[in-house]
């Protein structure tokens, strides 16, 4: 017979053992959870792809300045220089995005609350109507005040434009890049400065020489020429200026119709034979192979005329033969009322730290001078080094472009800046093909632009 007292003692022992086990399990779970929390805090809430074991801050950057894009030629090596200088501290990982879809990509990420840490420019109306009112961009004002060496090189008009309600919502410009045109002097010798011609005189002066244009993607080179033609119309420069503030939806006006007529005539009489299908690289290749004597393009294109790029030349092209001027009617395409990079206010402090380090790097005298030598332009508030001034003399087209501008030069914004984004980035190129092949009259072309612009507002 079992003693009741023994049964009771045995039960107590089992209860005590179970309680010890329960406490042990609870302690183990607490330790695991604490380890998880500690690891999460140490990583700043970031995955291993964003912050590696060594503590290096990795910033992923969607950009169109990669691959074959013209802007990649300077920007990608610049990122590499930054990564090398700050190796072990910061690293930028480029994610290539096609230029024509970049703005839409950024808008989509914003809607998903997944904005990248750094964004380059973007749709200006969208910025003014969505990003800025919702304070989604980081205020750069205090940082600029703490870095006077950066603030002093900024262009005042750009700083004023980028300051909204005492917040610097995006990084102002330090460099202005006036956009004109280039011509091959071994094929075409202007009877006088192109700047001093009308477009009618320019077309007649070209004779049988061809102009490299393009319709692929945003039809960049066509947009440049169309912009200059608009600016040559009475009141055209003012129309472009006003359109920068409020997008133009109606193109059924004499300014645009007359400019479209000039564009159609130039394409018919002097357009290169590939303009119906040409993308940007195709147009540039035509110029570099002497299939076209003239190309409208920015100063950055001058890098292709260096002997080190001779492997891209053909048919006897020689970079020494290239000269530069601005557009007929004394017009140059340049806009100081714009900004460049902005930082997402939702980014964590470590990501903002990396972004600010990259801004400081890009706006250092060495990098600004490197950008000027590679892509042209002027930095009016930068004190140039003697070494830079000597190197700049080696590039005659930069000197010619800068010398072509005078006190009477009209500075205008590119036409894509006054159009709704969907029109300028994709639809314009599709519609201008029909203007070039004659299936649309100038009036019908402008009506098609208007319809697409209105559709973008729905």
User: How far, in Å, CA of 369 to CA of 317, rounded?
Assistant: 28
User: How far, in Å, CA of 304 to CA of 114, rounded?
Assistant: 37
User: How far, in Å, CA of 413 to CA of 372, rounded?
Assistant: 20
What residues does each domain of the chain span?
Answer: 57-175+339-392, 180-336+400-455
Taking only the tens place, the pLDDT of each residue in 168-223 is: 999 999 998 899 999 999 999 999 999 999 999 999 999 999 999 999 989 999 99
**CB-CB contact of 332 with 409 (8 Å):** yes
CA distances in angstroms from 71 to 30, 64, 279, 441, listed in the order given:
53, 8, 15, 34
Domain 57-175+339-392 is in which class?
alpha beta
Which pLDDT score is estimated for 277? 87
Share of the chain above pLDDT 70, in %: 88
User: How far, in Å, CA of 276 to CA of 72, rounded?
Assistant: 25
Tally Cβ neighbours within 10 Å of residue 329.
22
User: How far, in Å, CA of 339 to CA of 161, rounded?
Assistant: 8
Taking only the tens place, the pLDDT of each residue in 5-50 is: 444 444 444 444 445 445 444 444 443 343 433 333 333 334 333 4
Helices (H) and strands (E) in the chain, counts: 19, 11
The residue written with tokens 């039809």 in the block is 219
Which pLDDT score is estimated for 337? 81
Taking only the tens place, the pLDDT of each residue in 56-78 is: 999 999 999 999 887 898 999 99
Q: Which of 5-9, 154-158, 381-385 has the lowest mean pLDDT?
A: 5-9
User: How far, in Å, CA of 197 to CA of 69, rounded?
Assistant: 32
Residue 449: is its pLDDT beyond 90? yes
pLDDT tier for residue 331 given thresholds of 50, 70 and 90: very high
pLDDT tier for residue 438 given thresholds of 50, 70 and 90: very high
Q: Which of 158, 156, 149 is nearest to 363 (CA)?
A: 149
What is the mean predicted confidence (pLDDT) over 146-152? 98
User: How far, in Å, CA of 267 to CA of 283, rounded?
Assistant: 13
Question: CATH homologous superfamily for 180-336+400-455?
Answer: Periplasmic binding protein-like II (3.40.190.10)
Please give the residue that has the higher pLDDT: either 259 or 301: 259
User: How far, in Å, CA of 8 to CA of 175, rounded?
Assistant: 89
Q: Which of 140, 137, 112, 118 is nearest to 127 (CA)?
A: 137
What is the mean predicted confidence (pLDDT) over 307-330? 96
Which pLDDT score is estimated for 53? 53
Put residue 2 in one of left, alpha, beta given phi > 0 → left and psi -120 to 50 → alpha. beta
Which pLDDT score is estimated for 54? 62
pLDDT tier for residue 52 given thresholds of 50, 70 and 90: low
Contacts (Cβ under 8 Å, ≥6 apart) of 357 = 82, 86, 89, 90
Residue 362: is its pLDDT beyond 90? yes
Taking only the tens place, the pLDDT of each residue in 241-292 is: 899 888 999 999 999 999 999 999 999 999 999 999 899 999 999 999 999 9
What is the mean predicted confidence (pLDDT) over 323-348? 94
Q: Does 180-336+400-455 match 57-175+339-392 at the fold level?
A: yes
Q: Using the CB atoms, write b or e for 401-420: b if 16+ within 10 Å.
A: bbebbeeebbbbbbbbbbbb
Mean pLDDT over each residue of the chain, to the nearest integer: 88
CA distances in angstroms from 260 to 227, 229, 415, 446, 449, listed in the order given:
10, 8, 12, 8, 11
Contacts (Cβ under 8 Å, ≥6 apart) of 229 = 199, 259, 262, 263
């Amino acid at each position: 017979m079992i003693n009741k007292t023994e049964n009771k003692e045995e039960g107590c022992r089992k209860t005590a053992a179970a309680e010890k086990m329960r406490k042990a399990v609870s302690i183990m779970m607490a330790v695991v959870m604490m380890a998880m929390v500690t690891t999460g805090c140490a990583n700043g809430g970031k995955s291993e792809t964003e912050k590696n074991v060594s503590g290096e801050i990795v910033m992923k950057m969607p950009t169109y300045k990669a691959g074959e894009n013209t802007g990649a030629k300077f920007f990608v090596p610049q990122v590499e220089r930054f990564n090398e200088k700050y190796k072990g501290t910061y690293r930028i990982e480029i994610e290539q995005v096609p230029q024509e879809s970049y703005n839409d990509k950024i808008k989509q990420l914003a809607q998903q609350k997944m904005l990248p840490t750094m964004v380059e420019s973007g749709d200006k109306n969208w910025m003014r109507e969505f990003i800025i009112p919702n304070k989604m961009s980081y205020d750069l004002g205090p940082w600029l005040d703490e870095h006077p060496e950066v603030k002093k090189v900024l262009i005042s008009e750009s700083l004023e434009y980028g300051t909204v309600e005492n917040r610097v919502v995006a990084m102002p410009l330090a460099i202005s890049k006036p956009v004109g045109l280039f011509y091959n002097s071994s094929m075409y010798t202007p009877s006088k400065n192109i700047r001093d011609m009308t477009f009618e005189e320019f077309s007649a002066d070209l004779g049988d020489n061809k102009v490299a244009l393009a319709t692929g993607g945003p039809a960049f080179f066509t947009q440049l020429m169309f912009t200059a033609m608009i600016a040559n119309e009475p009141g055209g420069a003012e129309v472009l200026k006003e359109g920068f503030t409020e997008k133009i939806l109606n193109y059924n006006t004499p300014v645009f119709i007359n400019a479209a007529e000039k564009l159609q005539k130039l394409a018919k009489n002097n357009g290169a034979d590939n303009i119906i299908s040409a993308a940007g690289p195709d147009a540039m290749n035509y110029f570099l192979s002497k299939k076209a004597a003239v190309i409208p393009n920015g100063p950055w294109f001058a890098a292709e005329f260096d002997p080190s790029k001779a492997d891209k030349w053909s048919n006897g092209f020689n970079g020494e033969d290239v000269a530069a001027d601005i557009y007929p009617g004394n017009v140059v395409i340049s806009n100081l009322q714009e900004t460049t990079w902005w930082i997402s206010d939702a980014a964590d402090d470590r990501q903002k730290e990396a972004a600010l380090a990259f801004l400081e790097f890009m706006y250092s005298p060495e990098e600004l001078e490197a950008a000027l030598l590679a892509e042209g332009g002027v930095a009016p508030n930068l004190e140039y080094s003697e070494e830079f001034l000597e190197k700049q003399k080696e590039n005659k087209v930069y000197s010619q472009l800068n010398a072509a501008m005078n006190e009477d030069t009209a500075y205008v914004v590119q036409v894509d800046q006054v159009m709704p984004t969907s029109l300028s980035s994709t639809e314009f190129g599709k519609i201008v093909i029909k203007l070039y092949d004659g299936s649309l009259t100038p009036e019908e072309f402008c009506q098609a632009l208007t319809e697409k612009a209105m559709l973008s507002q729905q």
